[in-house]
Structure 1
Amino acid sequence: MNASVPASRRTVLRLATAGAVGGALAATPLPAFAKSARCPLPRTLSVTAPGLYPEGVAWDPRRKAFLVGSSAQGTISVVKADGSVTPLVAPFAQVSVLGIAVDAPRGRIVAAYTDYFFRQLGVVDPSLPPVSGVGVFDLATGAVQHLVDLSAGQPEPRANDVTVDRDGTIYVTDTGVDTVSVVSRDGKVLQVISDDRFVTADTGPNGIVHHPAGYLLMGKYDGGRLFRIDRPRSARPVISEVRLDRAPTSVDGIALRPDGSLVVAANDLSLAGGRAGRDAVVVLRSTDNWRTARTVQDQTWPVEDPTTVAVTPYGDYVISGGLREILTGTPSSTPGQFHLRRR
């Protein structure tokens, strides 16, 4: 393909999906200093993996490596400190794997998946019901344990991000139908949380984390808003908006750090009407159990389109997976690569 001619988004997905079958993923070698005993990870991992387009990332403490999903191939792969990429979860449907979380105590990977991008671009038969849900996979082997349908008859469901509480209950945001689904650890849908404040014609509930105090923190992409959800497994969860000193352009993926601060990835990938945004990584801190929060760091991000963050023992790593190429057809500035950069 002539590199000077931007590929259509539909072609991008088709080529990426085709490349997932039996295709090896190459990685850019890293310099020797990346193997420091003090910090085994380099500041930046620039990984060559054509067609992968990862949106979600998580840290695997057992492997001491990253796990990344694929927006185009419906896979989960292991990314090691040397930049190597090894498939772990094989394509289980024609879907995008978006947010992922490692449930280490139970030896599981939990991942949100959706065929939303494929449907928007006409890659799948529009007469078929939409596919959207949460998958549970064996952390050691990648084998499927549960695929939980969360589409619930909605016309455009879009499962986006996941978190797991200390008991193994799973919480899944949906940016298309503006909800948070609660799923038992054995794969049963317990309830769906909705609120008028979640609703938007743009992109809705996105990043989500479980706080050790027992509540959820959930970001709404549109408007850069943050919510606290108390008693999320009860019949009547209590939902309150966290008062921020200033709202980010958007709230995409979020991560809770051991010191209690919250790292937020912001971008303009899904801002409707061509509204201008800003690539940034913002750190929020609260002194009143997330009733209010203030901005303690606001970095303009040097790598385009950061989508979420993985907290590791060696620092917080932000992923930029080239997703704009699928969403808009605009070629990435580093085609065929994705980047993990330490904050």
Structure 2
Amino acid sequence: MKKIILCVFMAGCASVIPDQPTTRIEFNAPEAYPEGIAYDSNADVYFVSSARLGSVGKVTPAGVYSLLINDPTFKSTYGVKVHPDGKRLFVCVSDANYSKFTSSETRKKMARLVGIDIATGKKTDDIDLSKLVPGKHFANDLTFDSQQNAYITDSFSNVIYKVTPTGEASVFADSSMFKTEGVGLNGIVFHPSGYLLTVSSGTGSLYKIDLNNSKNITKVATEQFFMNGDGLLLTENRKLVVVQNGGSDKIYELTSEDNWSSAKLSASTLVADRFTYPSTAAMAKDKIWIMNAKFSELTDSTSVPSNKFSIQHARLMPLPR
């Protein structure tokens, strides 16, 4: 493998920066355009959604793709997470923009949280979130807290919903800070210290929401905005991975030393890695893997739909302090 040598004048040594992309798990899923990714350590498979077809599939580390569920009422599927019980997969179902099966009845109106039995592929839960607030809807991503409550971002209404383990749905957080045009609130994670972290694609800001008082919302002070910020992944209590697309197509690591009142950039991927519209991230066997959604093709009328997609290893290179 070729190397580009970059001399960093620290302690008289040079660091070696690779100029080749990282490992990709390639798989065939014609026209799927997967957006969400979740890793199941029990089965050693990745679950992936489909913004184009609405299906949910699974991918082995060897790159073998198979369908888990293909429900005709699922226009598009986005964020996916394995439930804390390890037996179900939960998926955000919407009809936001890219569905091949969009209709006037569902376009920008659908917002559902669907549970799927991992063993059988049968639907176990189906919670309608679209009636909780008026306006357009786009259930985009989700996370679970330590009590198995689910929290879901609506990227059009710019609210965060809460669904209890018994299926009771409500609006958890709604703030003027969240409001923006186009796609807003996106990736979301639960922090064990008792709060949520979420990113807005539209404002580029990270927000911290207290689970005990959802009106206690603060903007995380960062060195830059993350416009087109998408998936989030908390790798440890003070480290957060942010996936950014829309032209940047990079993955960043943020580190906080003050319980996420503020955060600094600590690492990022390289341009040489050539991510193709990265969307979401998952941790598998101590490595971070990114879903390459390739959504740029869906906005290009001359593009031929892809059959092949990839999950790519994120090599985070430390940034100079």
Please state which band the TM-score falls in when normalised by the shorter chain: 0.7 to 0.9
* Structure 2 CA distance for partners of 1:128 and 1:243, relative to 1, 3 Å: closer
Question: Are 2:62 and 1:90 equivalent residues in the alignment?
Answer: no
The answer to whether residue 105 in structure 2 is matched with residue 135 in structure 1 is no
More strand by share: 2
* SS of residue in 2 equivalent to 1:308: strand
Counterpart among 227, 230, 233 of residue 249 in structure 1: 227
SS of corresponding position for 2:147: coil
Choose from 204, 208, 216 the match for 2:188. Answer: 208
Does 222-231 or 183-192 show the bigger shift?
Answer: 183-192
Q: Does 1:290 align with 2:260?
A: yes
In the alignment, is residue 320 of structure 1 matched against residue 300 of structure 2?
no
Query: TM-score of the superposition, structure 2-length normalised?
Result: 0.84
- Report Cα offsets for 1:185-224 as digits up to 9, x if no partner: 1211133411111000121100000111121010111132
- Structure 1 pair 136–237 and aligned structure 2 pair: CA distance change class (3 A): farther
Superposition map of 1:188-267 within 5 A:
188-231=168-211, 234=213, 236-258=214-236, 260-267=238-245
Cα distance in 1, alignment partners of residues 206 and 250 from structure 2: 16
Structure 2: stretches of 5+ with no match in the other structure? 1-21, 315-321
Deviates more, 1:216-225 or 1:138-147: 138-147
Stretch of structure 1 that moved more, 251-260 or 156-165? 251-260
**How far apart, in 2, do the equivalents of 1:54 and 1:97 lie?**
8
Provide the aligned C-alpha RMSD in A.
2.3
Partner of 1:78: 58
**1:95 Cα offset (Å):** 1.3
For the residue of structure 1 that corresponds to 2:229, the secondary structure is coil
Structure 1 residues 122, 74: CA separation in 2 closer, same or farther (over 3 Å shift)? closer
CA, structure 1 residues 87+46, in 2 after alignment: closer, same or farther (shift >3 Å)? same
2:164 pairs, out of 181, 184, 187, with 184
**Whole-angstrom CA distance in 1 between matches of 2:299 and 2:35:** 12
Identify if the C-alpha distance between structure 1 residues 76 and 127 changes in structure 2 by more than 3 Å, giving closer, same or farther. Answer: closer
Corresponding residue for 2:127?
148
What does the per-residue CA deviation read over 1:108-158, in whole Å, with 9 as the maximum and x for residues that have no partner? 211111012268x88413489932111111122221111111112634201
Q: Structure 1-normalised TM-score?
A: 0.78
**Structure holding more helix per residue:** 1
Q: Which amino acid aligns with 2:268?
A: D
Structure 1 distance, partners of 2:165, 2:156, is: 24
Letter in 2 for 1:339: S
TM superposition shift of 1:103: 1.4
**Per the alignment, in what secondary structure is the counterpart of residue 291 of structure 2?**
strand
- Out of 327, 333, 337, the position equivalent to 2:308 is 337
Q: Which runs of 5+ in 1 are unaligned?
A: 1-41, 269-276
**Quick check: 1:46–1:83 contact (8 Å CA) kept in 2?**
yes
Structure 1 residues 132, 52: closer, same or farther in 2, change over 3 A?
A: same
CA contact (8 A) 2:136 2:156 kept: yes
Partner Cα distance (1:75, 1:246) in 2: 35
Give the Å deviation of 1:70. Answer: 0.8
SS at match of 2:241: strand
Preserved CA contact (<8 Å) 1:324 1:330: no
Partners of 1:209 and 1:147 in 2: how far apart?
A: 21
Work out which of the residue numbers 49, 54, 60 in structure 1 matches 2:29: 49
Q: Distance in 1 between matches of 2:108 and 2:242?
A: 33
Amino acid at match of 1:220: S
- Residue 124 of structure 1 is matched in structure 2 by 103
**Secondary structure of 2:97 counterpart:** helix
Change (3 A) 1:328 1:200: farther
How far apart are the structure 1 equivalents of 2:156 and 2:107?
A: 18
Matched to 1:76, the amino acid is V
Letter in 2 for 1:53: Y
Task: Please state whether the residue corresponding to 1:154 is helix, strand or coil.
Answer: coil
- 1:316–1:106 distance in 2 versus 1, CA, 3 Å: closer
